[in-house]
Structure 1
Amino acid sequence: MTGEKVSKRDKKPVEHTSNCVSTHQGQHVMEFCDATYDSGVLSLEIYGGMPAYSSSLRIIVKGVDFSCRFKGVYPAPVSNCRRKIIAKKLTFKDRKIKKGKRLFGRVSVEFEETSTYKGKTETVRHKIEGYIKPVVK
């Protein structure tokens, strides 16, 4: 398809399933959220902001408890990069999770990131916050 015109039929709209703002590597919107539900465990992956920002937030929900893990990529080499979740909140409009149904929720996660670059170690706080509306797979 290289060099050819793109027709309307070739274009497929991509639904934004998240409206979360991240302060990691500069403020940007993370506009996608994927959700899977298996054996009573809900897995959410929030991402977006490409090509400038390549990071994601994974949330695993088991019953009323949930855990978070942030993953980021850097254009320069950093060492000893550690992240610690210091605050988290997750709410859903409806707790009835079912495959094929849309899930509406709000997320707020704050974390500290400690890394070393050129011999200097620093700790910075970041936040990811906003709304999600994925269809559960």
Structure 2
Amino acid sequence: MAAWLLAVVAALSACDSAADPGSDTSGVRAPTGPTRLEALPPRTDLIDAQVVQWRSWRSVDDRTLEVTVTAGPADCYGADPEVTESETAVRLRIRVGLLPEAAGKECPAIAKESVVPVRLTSALGNRTVEPLS
């Protein structure tokens, strides 16, 4: 797998430098297309769950949001979204904690951006999305 990845990077670097002869070929460019963030599983049985600030959100469909948070890897951590809906606003609080099945395993201490799926009881429409305090 690593050899395949290196071959792809080398091929892309060669294509990039061929397209722009004056470009710097000493490094590898970061991908420019959209990347798919890992989804944290929504759970209510998390261990030591803490409220985290969410950064952004996007509408997946009329009743589902994806909220961006920083957390550990999804095989160790989950999220417990709390939603309050009114006619004018959707208010969100996200708690992140350890999955019960990950309590005995070694989880890497890394922070990464992930998304939390949030299901609304009614369509978002023109309502605002804001933090629940």
TM-score normalised to the size of structure 2? 0.30
Structure ranking higher in strand proportion = 1
Q: Taking CA–CA contacts closer than 8 Å with sequence separation of 6 or more, which of the two structures ends up with the larger relative contact order?
A: 2
Structure ranking higher in helix proportion = 2
TM-score normalised to the size of structure 1? 0.30
Task: Specify the structure having the higher radius of gyration (Cα).
Answer: 2
